[in-house]
Chains A and B, each alone.
Chain A
Amino acid sequence: MSRSNRMFGDNAFNLLKDLQRSSQTIPAFDDDGVRQVLEEIKAIFEENVAQASNYNSSADRSLWPLLNYRHAALQRNKRCLLAYLYERMQRIKAMRWEFGPIIPNDIKPALCEPEVQFFNNYSKSLAAYMRSVGDGQGIDLTGNLRPPKSLYIEVRCVENYGKFELDDGEVVHLRKNSQHYLPRAQVEPLVRQGILQHIT
């Protein structure tokens, strides 16, 4: 794109647009995009610092709108960039609730190193919190996600999973396409992982 067609803030806005458009759970971290926005922020800032001193010494009022315009562009860039990071953070958090404490292999390459670190800290902190609730009695908040309708649900097995032991010691064999009538609370994690499918 030629420089003359570009406006301040385009890069930052594109970061957000791409993220919103993407159909993936989490699209790859846009390293280049983020760097470009940071560079633009820095460039705008330096231009303004140079002209601000000019403005102060010369009392040339005609510079005022330009300084203000640049400052607004700088703030907008920051805001878009932080919104981009915040939205990614929300999706990374949601991943912890959905898939548990390990980042799924197909998603991991999409995260940058600080994001992986964020996920691990978040995961640890959440687990510690859940263990500590009720004076150490502990509660798993990633289960019981919906109001209980029935103790048992009909499920169909989507893939070969193998043996699955229920709380009462009974062992069921989860083979592809087999159907079972199982305690809802115990199979909910498998349903969420897509191993079992709830049939109504």
Chain B
Amino acid sequence: MSTREIMSDSENVEQAPNEHELSTEADLARAYEGDDDDDEDAEPITAQKVLEILETAWTNEMFAPELLQHQSDMLELMMSQVAHMEEQMKDLDKNDFRYVVHQMELERIRYIMASYLRCRLQKIEAFTQYIINQDATYDAADKRLSPEEAKYAQEFATNVDEYFSKVATRYMPNQQRGEAEQRIVAPNLMSHVFLKANVAVSGVIVGVDDEEVDLTPGSQHIIPYQLVADLIQKNQAKLI
């Protein structure tokens, strides 16, 4: 086969780190360890792997009806990498072959990061109160919102409430407690999604009558999101 996918499912995990002329592996590994002071044996991670994780997070986020877990660490690493490469390239001639190609790649990476974060903001704005309530029940490690997003969500909720109140709700009689709750918009978790299995998963329930199916690696399915949400979370499958 003459074409191949660079972004792979799982086989690239074992791949030897590739070298970087503009930013070394060591830089990135240090950046990663610096981020996790308490974790002495944080494994070094390649820029390629970080990008892969972000790309998967991006496509999953685009197709999942609900907000998925944030990827602040990966995002921060990639932003540093991009900034570092830009710094290194400052001295290159703008018409240099290397300059142009690296810039093109950085444009692609910047697009993925921006599109990913925009997609999350859209969900945060659409399901604000639902997401805030949901996150309140999760442990710190499992929060869907990054700290920055949590702050944004809270500000947005307050802002919307103020606007609605000033223009309308405070003039409405009969404001029962239930009414504000009725206005909470929740994502439709049973909406159908396209799924591709990364690994073999057995006994996935695919219907209301508890019908079970074994997923083979690479197999594709259409299925209500809620039935496979945990597979996405565990990276056993991805949305397409």
B-binding residues in A (CB < 8 A): 34, 38, 41-42, 45-46, 74, 78, 81-82, 85, 89, 93, 112, 114-115, 117-118, 121-122, 125-126, 128-129, 132-135, 137, 139-141, 143-148, 151, 168, 184-185
**Contact call A85/B148, Cβ cutoff below 8 A:** no
Contacts A45-B174, A151-B103 given; indicate if A144 touches B114 (C-beta within 8 A): yes
Q: Count how many pairs of residues, one from A and one from B, have CB atoms less than 8 Å apart in the complex.
A: 107
Q: Are A185 and B107 in contact (CB under 8 A)?
A: yes
Q: Which residues of B contact A122 (CB under 8 A)?
A: 156, 159
| Residue of A45, A121, A125, A129 with highest tally of chain B CB at under 10 A | A129
Report whether B166 and A141 are in contact in the complex, using a CB–CB cutoff of 8 Å: no
Query: What 10 A-B pairs have minimum CB-CB distances, sorted nearest first?
Result: A134-B79, A114-B166, A148-B107, A144-B114, A118-B163, A125-B155, A129-B152, A45-B173, A121-B159, A132-B148
In the complex, what residue of chain A is closest to B185 when comparing beta carbons?
A86
A120, closest chain B residue (CB): B159
- Residues of A near B75 (CB, < 8 A) are 133-134
With A117-B163, A121-B155 as known contacts, state yes or no: A81 contacts B114, CB within 8 Å.
no
Binding site for A on B (CB under 8 A): 72, 75-76, 79-80, 83, 94, 100, 103-104, 107-108, 110-111, 113-115, 117-118, 121, 125, 148-149, 151-152, 155-156, 159-160, 162-164, 166-169, 171-174, 179, 183
Chain A contact residues: helix, strand, loop or mixed: helix
Whether A41 touches B172, Cβ cut-off 8 Å, given contacts A118-B163, A133-B117, is: yes
- Contact between A85 and B173 (Cβ–Cβ < 8 Å)? no
Q: Would you give 23 A-B contacts (Cβ < 8 Å), ordered by A?
A: A38-B168, A41-B171, A74-B174, A82-B169, A89-B160, A93-B125, A112-B167, A115-B163, A118-B163, A121-B155, A121-B159, A129-B149, A134-B72, A134-B76, A137-B79, A139-B114, A141-B114, A141-B117, A144-B107, A147-B108, A148-B107, A168-B94, A184-B107
The distance in angstroms between the C-alpha atoms of A134 and B73, with both chains bound, is 8
Across the interface, A82 reaches (CB within 8 A) one of B94, B103, B152, B183, namely B183
Which residue of B has the minimal Cβ distance to A147? B111
Majority SS of interface residues in chain B?
helix
Knowing that A42-B171, A46-B173 touch, tell me 7 more A-B residue pairs with CB under 8 angstroms: A34-B167, A41-B172, A74-B174, A82-B183, A85-B163, A118-B162, A134-B75
Measured CB to CB, the closest approach of chain B to A38, in angstroms, equals 5
**Complex partner residue of A125 from B114, B117, B152, B183, CB under 8 angstroms:** B152
| B163–A114 touching, CB < 8 Å | yes
Contacts of A121 in B (CB 8 A): 155, 159, 162
Q: How far is the CB of A134 from chain B (nearest CB, A)?
A: 4
B155 / chain A contacts, CB cutoff of 8 Å: 121, 125
Asked whether A143 lies within 8 Å of B114 as measured between CB atoms, the reply is yes
Tell me, in angstroms, the Cα distance from A38 to B159 when the chains sit together: 21
Q: Roughly how many angstroms separate A80 CA and B151 CA in the complex, as a whole number?
A: 30
Using known A-B contacts A118-B162, A129-B151, A144-B111, determine if residue A81 contacts B168 with beta carbons closer than 8 Å: yes
Q: What chain B residues lie within 8 Å of A143 (beta carbons)?
A: 114
